[in-house]
């Protein structure tokens, strides 16, 4: 029983740790040289994966980014998951510890009027929910990239294999031609040898006959 309780406790701690790891939280960060209120989440994916996944998620929502000084901005857009009104969205992805990523999202209601967790609770909570859901998007994108890389590796191996198969067929054909030609040459040599031996024998017979005629 104690062992079971210990196991359950350990599992609970691991679940809580994972949940905490995946939870977004309000922070402040530098965006376009200014310290801004934002929401941040740590993603268990490298920067390139997290960046591409976030860009694709926002593109699917119909947003087009404009990159400036390390951050991406989406001006005058409607992102229903965060606000039904037009907003300016700013995102930034930085390298975190152990090959993780720190993903930031800040929202302005226009004219650099950035939201805060105190004054704009609903929008902040929506940003947090958006980033929390983004964890799955990043993991899925990582899996897709991994599958794509495996397919490319498989295609490369397939091409290398097929190249060897084609070369083998070519060499076998050449070998067959060579072996057939060698057989033809050997047969012709045998025939010519017989003919040559006959001619040599004829010459010797003629020489022997001439010698006999001279001795008579």
Q: What is the CATH number of the domain that holds 42?
A: 3.30.530
**Residue 158 pLDDT > 80, yes or no?**
yes
Nearest to 78 by CA among 70, 90, 87, 69: 87
Contacts of 72 (CB under 8 A, 6+ apart): 55, 65, 66, 90, 91, 92
Could you tell me the pLDDT band of residue 154, with boundaries at 50, 70 and 90? Answer: very high
How many domains are contained in the chain? Answer: 1
Give me the pLDDT at residue 76, please: 92
Burial 13-45 (b: 16+ CB within 10 A, else e): eeeeeeeeebebebeebebeeeebbbbbbbbbb
Which residues form the domain of 95?
25-148
In a domain, 202, yes or no: no
In a domain, 57, yes or no: yes
Give me the pLDDT at residue 173, please: 95
In a domain, 74, yes or no: yes
* Angle, CA of 141, 143 and 149, to the nearest 5°: 100
In a domain, 106, yes or no: yes
Burial 193-215 (b: 16+ CB within 10 A, else e): eeeeeeeeeeeeeeeeeeeeeee
Give me the pLDDT at residue 141, please: 95
In a domain, 20, yes or no: no
What order do you get walking across the sheet with 25-31 strand by strand?
Answer: 25-31, 34-43, 101-108, 87-95, 71-77, 66-68
Which 8-state DSSP code applies to residue 97? G
Distance CA 69, CA 31 (A): 8
**Residue 4 pLDDT > 90, yes or no?**
no
* Angle, CA of 78, 81 and 25, to the nearest 5°: 115
**Phi and psi of 117, rounded to 5°?**
-65, -25
Beta bridge partners of 216: none
pLDDT tens string 67-90: 776 689 999 999 999 999 999 999
Distance of CA 124 to the CA centre of its chain: 35
Could you tell me the pLDDT band of residue 110, with boundaries at 50, 70 and 90? Answer: confident
**CA distance between the termini of the chain:** 130
In a domain, 192, yes or no: no
In a domain, 45, yes or no: yes
Distance CA 128, CA 84 (A): 16
Give the side-chain half-sphere CA count within 13 A for 209: 6
Could you tell me the pLDDT band of residue 112, with boundaries at 50, 70 and 90? Answer: confident
In a domain, 156, yes or no: no
């Amino acid at each position: 029983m104690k062992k079971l309780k210990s196991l359950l406790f350990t599992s609970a701690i691991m679940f809580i740790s994972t949940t905490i790891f995946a939870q977004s939280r309000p922070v402040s960060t530098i965006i376009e040289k200014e310290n801004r209120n934002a929401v941040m989440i740590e993603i268990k994916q490298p920067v390139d994966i997290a960046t591409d996944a976030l860009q694709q998620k926002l593109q699917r929502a119909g947003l087009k980014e404009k990159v400036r000084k390390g951050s991406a901005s989406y001006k005058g857009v409607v992102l229903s998951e965060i606000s039904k009104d037009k907003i300016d969205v700013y995102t930034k992805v930085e390298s975190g510890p152990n090959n993780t990523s720190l993903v930031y999202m800040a929202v302005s209601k226009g004219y650099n009027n950035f939201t805060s967790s105190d004054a704009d609770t609903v929008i902040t909570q929506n940003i947090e929910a958006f980033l929390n859901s983004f964890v799955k998007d990043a993991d899925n994108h990582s899996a897709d990239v991994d599958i794509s890389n495996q397919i490319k590796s498989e295609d490369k191996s397939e091409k290398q294999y097929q190249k060897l198969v084609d070369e083998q067929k070519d060499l076998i054909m050449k070998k067959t031609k060579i072996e057939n030609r060698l057989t033809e040459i050997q047969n012709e040599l045998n025939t010519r040898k017989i003919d040559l031996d006959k001619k040599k024998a004829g010459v010797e017979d003629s020489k022997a006959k001439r010698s006999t005629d001279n001795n008579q």
